[in-house]
Chains A and B, each alone.
Chain A
Amino acid sequence: MLKPHSYRGKLIVVEGIDGSGKSTQIDLLYKWLQTQGKSVYFSEWNSSPLVKSTTKMGKKQKMFTPTTFSLMQATDFADRWENQILPMLKAGVIVLADRYAFTAFARDVARGVDPEWVRNLYSFAPQPDLAFYFRVPVEIAVERILSGRAELKYYEAGMDLGLSDSKTTSFRLFQQRIIAQYDEMINEFGFVTIDGTDVVQNQQKLVRQIVRKNLLGWEGMPNPNLPLPPKRRPARKTAPQKEGGEA
Chain B
Amino acid sequence: MTKAQFYGGGFPYRTMTDMPGKLIVLEGTDSVGRSTQIGLLRKWLEDEGFAVADTGLNRSPLTQVGLDQAKEGHTLGRQTMSLFYAADFADRLENLIIPALKAGFFVLSDRYFYSIIARDIVRGADPAWARKVYGFALKPDLTLYLRADVPTLVARMVYGRGFNYWESGMDIRCADNLYDSFCIYQSRLIEQFEFLAKEYNFVTIDANRPIEPVFADLKSQISALIEQDKTT
Interface residues of A (CB under 8 A from B): 48, 50-51, 53-54, 57-58, 63-68, 71-72, 74-75, 78-79, 81-83, 111-114, 116-117, 120-121, 123-124
> Is B166 in the interface zone, CB < 8 Å from A?
no
Contact residue among A48, A63, A124 (Cβ-Cβ distance under 8 Å from B62):
A63
Q: Judging by beta carbons under 8 Å apart, are A50 and B90 in contact?
A: no
Q: Judging by beta carbons under 8 Å apart, are A82 and B87 in contact?
A: no
A57 CA / B91 CA spacing, docked (Å) = 14
Chain B residues near A117 (CB-CB < 8 A): 8-9, 132, 135-136
Q: Judging by beta carbons under 8 Å apart, are B9 and A78 in contact?
A: no
Contact residue among A53, A63, A114, A116 (Cβ-Cβ distance under 8 Å from B91):
A63
Would you list which residues of chain B between 15 and 67 have a CB under 8 Å from chain A? 61-63, 65-67
A104 CA / B27 CA spacing, docked (Å) = 32
Given A67-B94, A83-B75, A112-B13, verify A120-B133 contact (CB < 8 Å). Answer: yes
Q: Judging by beta carbons under 8 Å apart, are B90 and A68 in contact?
A: yes
Given A66-B13, A71-B86, verify A82-B80 contact (CB < 8 Å). Answer: yes
Given A120-B129, A121-B133, verify A79-B13 contact (CB < 8 Å). Answer: no
Count of chain B residues with a beta carbon within 8 Å of a chain A beta carbon = 35
Chain B residues near A68 (CB-CB < 8 A): 62, 87, 90-91, 94
> Is B76 in the interface zone, CB < 8 Å from A?
yes
Q: Judging by beta carbons under 8 Å apart, are A116 and B62 in contact?
A: no
Contact residue among A54, A72, A74, A82 (Cβ-Cβ distance under 8 Å from B77):
A82
CB distance from A104 to the nearest CB of B (A): 11
- Closest A-B pairs by Cβ, 3 of them: A112-B13, A82-B77, A54-B66
Chain B residues near A114 (CB-CB < 8 A): 8-10, 12, 135
Q: Judging by beta carbons under 8 Å apart, are B61 and A82 in contact?
A: no
Contact residue among A54, A71, A75, A120 (Cβ-Cβ distance under 8 Å from B65):
A54
Q: Judging by beta carbons under 8 Å apart, are A78 and B136 in contact?
A: no
Chain B residues near A124 (CB-CB < 8 A): 79, 129
Prevailing SS type, chain B contact patch: helix
Contact with A along B62-84 (1 / 0, CB 8 A): 11011101100101111110111
Q: List 22 A-B contacts (CB under 8 A).
A: A48-B80, A50-B69, A50-B70, A53-B66, A53-B69, A54-B67, A54-B87, A57-B65, A63-B62, A63-B91, A68-B90, A71-B83, A71-B86, A71-B90, A72-B62, A75-B80, A75-B84, A78-B77, A82-B80, A112-B12, A114-B9, A124-B129
A116 CA / B78 CA spacing, docked (Å) = 22
Prevailing SS type, chain A contact patch: helix
Chain A residues near B90 (CB-CB < 8 A): 65, 67-68, 71
Contact residue among A57, A82, A111, A123 (Cβ-Cβ distance under 8 Å from B129):
A123
Chain A residues near B82 (CB-CB < 8 A): 78
A66 CA / B166 CA spacing, docked (Å) = 30
Chain B residues near A116 (CB-CB < 8 A): 9, 135
Given A67-B11, A112-B13, A120-B132, verify A81-B62 contact (CB < 8 Å). Answer: no
Contact residue among A64, A74, A79, A113 (Cβ-Cβ distance under 8 Å from B12):
A113
Q: Judging by beta carbons under 8 Å apart, are A71 and B87 in contact?
A: yes
Contact with A along B107-149 (1 / 0, CB 8 A): 0000000000000000000000100110110000000000000
With A68-B87, A82-B78 given, name 18 new contacts (CB 8 A).
A50-B73, A51-B70, A65-B91, A66-B11, A66-B13, A67-B136, A71-B86, A71-B87, A75-B80, A75-B86, A78-B82, A79-B80, A83-B77, A112-B12, A113-B12, A116-B9, A117-B135, A120-B132
Closest chain A residue, CB of each to CB of B86: A71
Chain B residues near A50 (CB-CB < 8 A): 66, 69-70, 73, 75-76, 80
CB distance from A71 to the nearest CB of B (A): 4
Q: Which of A68, A78, A123 has the most CB of B within 10 A?
A: A68
Closest chain B residue, CB of each to CB of A81: B79
Q: Judging by beta carbons under 8 Å apart, are A113 and B66 in contact?
A: no
Would you list which residues of chain B between 155 and 187 have a CB under 8 Å from chain A? none
Q: Judging by beta carbons under 8 Å apart, are A74 and B129 in contact?
A: no
Chain A residues near B77 (CB-CB < 8 A): 78-79, 82-83
CB distance from A244 to the nearest CB of B (A): 35
A75 CA / B91 CA spacing, docked (Å) = 14
A47 CA / B201 CA spacing, docked (Å) = 41
